Structure 1
Amino acid sequence: MKIAFSPCPNDTFVFHAWVHGRVAGAPALDVTYADIDVTNGLAIGGAGTEVLKVSYAALPWMLEQYALLPCGGALGRGCGPLVLTRDGSSDPAFLAGKRVAVPSDRSTAYLLFRLWADSHVPGGVGEVIVLPFDRIMPAVRDGEIDAGLVIHEARFTYPAYGLTLLADLGAWWELDTGLPIPLGAIVARRSLDREAIAGWVRESVRYAWSHPLESRAYVLSHAQEMDPQVAEAHIKLYVNEFTEELGAEGRNAVRSLLQRAAEREWVPPFDPALLD
């Protein structure tokens, strides 16, 4: 079975058991490791991958071909994207007319940023530039852009780049909605046995929790130069009860996010029933 997910610690931790044949009855996986902007494109473009990790914000573009699985994704509290600058500003008005880098123009991070900026940045931001997430902090540090929208382990490492926090979009979302933050989803082609796939994903998650040290070498090999302590903190933050089961609260968070986007016509029209 062809699958695509990011090399980030939460994804490699979740899928380690399945990738390494630890999930009984699950088919062997042919893995593509790719940034979220790439996996969003694979799903939207119908490139043939059967199971993917994508942004929740990208679902309206793919729901006719792919179904949302109720497990394996990234959704939680205290784990949202951050807006960073190098000048120490804490005033959202600083972003008016500025150049801002984002990890994907169809990412949940960018959608949260647009929702937040819509009511916090007078006149709106200037140019939005898509960069791979690992290029954003260096670009802000070096003055190539004015601000950066960051995800993943950047939450733990941005002070080392001399950057400062302008806004925590997850904290804003939680305060505004009372709901957890929907970040990354696992989807599967509608022609497949989605119940079976969800079962294999869930068993892979449970195996990872039961054998936390077994996946360490695999996780760190794909995390590249990441400090092991940062990788562990990353996993603890992004792999949680919603990874095992999205549940009613998780689904409400997804619907709320996409409904707000649809009301502003930022995403294509879609049938909400396809989220079930």
Structure 2
Amino acid sequence: MQIAYSPCPNDTFVFHAWAHGLLPDAPALDVTYADIDITNRLADERSGPEVMKISYAALPWVLDDYALLPCGGALGRGCGPLVLTRGEQPEGPDPLAATADVRTDGIDPARLSGKRVAVPSERSTAYLLFRLWVADHVPGGVGEIVVMPFHEIMPAVRDGRIDAGLVIHEARFTYQDYGLQLMTDLGSWWESDTGLPIPLGAIIARRGLDTKRLTEWIRASVRHAWDHPQDSTDYVMAHAQEMSPAVAQAHIELYVNTFTEALGDDGYAAVTALLGRAMDEGLVPKFDLALLCKPD
């Protein structure tokens, strides 16, 4: 079976057991490692593998041909994208240490009015959250949106080539190394505004496949990863893109959680809320929200 997921630690951790033939009843996997902007495009073109990890924000374009699986993805709390700017770090506690309120370094969002902002993709949950936040907090909106590879964003902000950057994943743990400031944590804003977790990456499968069996295999792989965390260490680090073991582990702990095993009521409510708002704002195509319904 063909599958595509990212080389990020959470995905390699989750799929290690299945990819290495440790699930007796599961078919062998032919794995393609691709960043999520690539899998979003493959899904949109209907040219990708049978099973893929894509952004929840890309679902409205592909649900006629792909089904959302209720496990294996990335959805949670305290794991949202960040809006970063250049400047001196303020005195006081680490802005990522607190979780109850919207995290911010006290920078007025109005500073983004008419400015250039770098984003890793325009079909990502991060970008949807950013657009929804901008509509409420940035008078007149931002100026130019510049799409650039994720790893180039923080250096571009640091060097003044971009006024602000939207970052995800391990940037939560490393942005201060670039001398950057946190304008806002969009995950904290979303959680404060809705009370729901943040939908980030979804696992989809071509319609017509046995989604019940796929769900069973993915959940078995997740459980094996939790029961035998050391088994996947070499695999995770081989694809971790020069990430330190400590950052890779923090990445796994943040993005692999109970929602990875089962979306559940809160997970489906979060996805419906995000995409419903995005439809209302004209950010995604209109689609039938019933296509996101929980499987029987």
TM range (shorter): over 0.9
- 1:260 correspondence with 2:260: no
- 1:64 correspondence with 2:81: no
**SS of 2:267's equivalent?**
helix
Aligned counterpart for 1:112 among listed residues 99, 111, 129: 129
In the alignment, the residues of structure 1 paired with residue 281 and residue 241 of structure 2 have an alpha-carbon distance, to the nearest angstrom, of 39
In structure 2, the partner of 1:2 is: 2
In the alignment, the residues of structure 2 paired with residue 133 and residue 29 of structure 1 have an alpha-carbon distance, to the nearest angstrom, of 27
**Contact 1:71 1:201 (8 Å CA) reproduced:** yes
The Cα of 1:64 is off from its aligned counterpart by 0.3
Deviation track 1:149-196 (CA, whole Å, cap 9, x = no partner) reads 000100001111111100000000000000001111000001211111
Q: Unaligned regions of 5+ residues in structure 2, if any?
A: 89-105
In structure 2, the partner of 1:232 is: 249
In the alignment, the residues of structure 2 paired with residue 98 and residue 264 of structure 1 have an alpha-carbon distance, to the nearest angstrom, of 21
Q: Which amino acid aligns with 1:222?
A: H
In structure 2, the partner of 1:203 is: 220
**SS of 1:223's equivalent?**
coil
Aligned counterpart for 1:136 among listed residues 133, 153, 161: 153
In structure 2, the partner of 1:86 is: 86
For residues 1-276 of structure 1, the aligned pairs below 5 Å read 1-88=1-88, 90-276=107-293
Which stretches of structure 1, 4 residues or more, deviate above 3 A after TM superposition?
none
In the alignment, the residues of structure 2 paired with residue 28 and residue 143 of structure 1 have an alpha-carbon distance, to the nearest angstrom, of 47
Scaled by the length of structure 2, the TM-score of the pair is 0.92
Q: Unaligned regions of 5+ residues in structure 1, if any?
A: none
The Cα of 1:87 is off from its aligned counterpart by 2.5
**Contact 1:63 1:274 (8 Å CA) reproduced:** yes
Q: Which amino acid aligns with 1:229?
A: A
Q: Tell me the C-alpha RMSD between the 2 structures.
A: 0.9
Aligned length: 276
Q: Which amino acid aligns with 2:39?
A: T
Q: Percent identity?
A: 71
